[in-house]
Amino acid sequence: PAYVAADHVAPSRPGRVTGKVVDGRAVQLSWAAAHDARGVRSYAIQQGGVGIHVVGGAQTATVVTGLRPGTRYAFTVRAQDAAGNLSPASTPVRLTTPGADDHRGTTPTGFDVVSRHTAGSYYLDLSWDPPRVDGVITEYQIRLDGDTDSSLVWGGTPPAGRAHHSLYAGQKAGETHRVRLRARLPDGTWGGFSAERTVTTGH
């Protein structure tokens, strides 16, 4: 068989990206094709640096759905070749969907936190119902005591139904913590924060 050299060269940056609003939940994007010595396999649409949509390499336009009314977006396009090399991001297209964003439906609900003591350490056991949105939520931001943020990211498809996560809370009893969280929505933006819960270790 003929020897095929490994491909380490990324496609060129997609050019002339334009966009127009379709309605409060969709926009149309178009761009000039990127170039690659072995062909462009796909284009990734990103919003705020987060991948939200993928189309085939023969396409130079798409409609992005699942957006929220009254929300500012910054879309970029990156080309990918068969070897997985990603082009630089295109210049951003900034669009604002019409309507009012009331954040309803984007907030985790039924949020509950309990303290647990195991092997000399305290943990905060979190449970919540994910927001009901179009698409899958794979990332949450957990805010502890009003200032410390940690990310919770599921590698694959998260389990259906109620979500659970544990935070390490040290070895001292009687320490009070405040916790709330929010979801990274399928459109790449952050949803509203859950209600804040207060829990004391050892109680």
User: Could you state, in order of their start, the residue ranges of all structural domains in the chain?
Assistant: 15-96, 109-200
- Residue 190 has φ and ψ, to the nearest 5°, of -90, 135
Q: What is the pLDDT of residue 136?
A: 82
Q: What is the pLDDT of residue 30?
A: 98
- What CATH fold (topology level) applies to the domain 109-200? Immunoglobulin-like (2.60.40)
Phi-psi region of 82 (alpha: psi -120 to 50; beta: other; left: phi over 0): alpha
Q: What is the pLDDT of residue 108?
A: 95
CATH of span 15-96: 2.60.40.10
List the chain pLDDT tens, one digit each, 203 residues.
555 567 789 999 999 999 999 999 999 999 999 999 989 999 999 998 899 999 999 999 999 998 999 999 999 999 999 999 999 999 999 999 999 877 778 999 999 999 999 999 999 999 999 998 878 898 999 999 988 889 999 877 787 889 999 999 999 999 999 999 999 998 999 999 999 999 999 87
- Nearest-angstrom CA–CA distance, 194 and 112: 10
Residue 10 corresponds to which tokens in the numbers above? Answer: 């990324």
Q: What is the pLDDT of residue 133?
A: 83
**DSSP code string of 103-162:** -TTSS-EEEEEEEEEETTEEEEEEEEEPP--SS---EEEEEETTTEEEEEE-SSPPPSSS
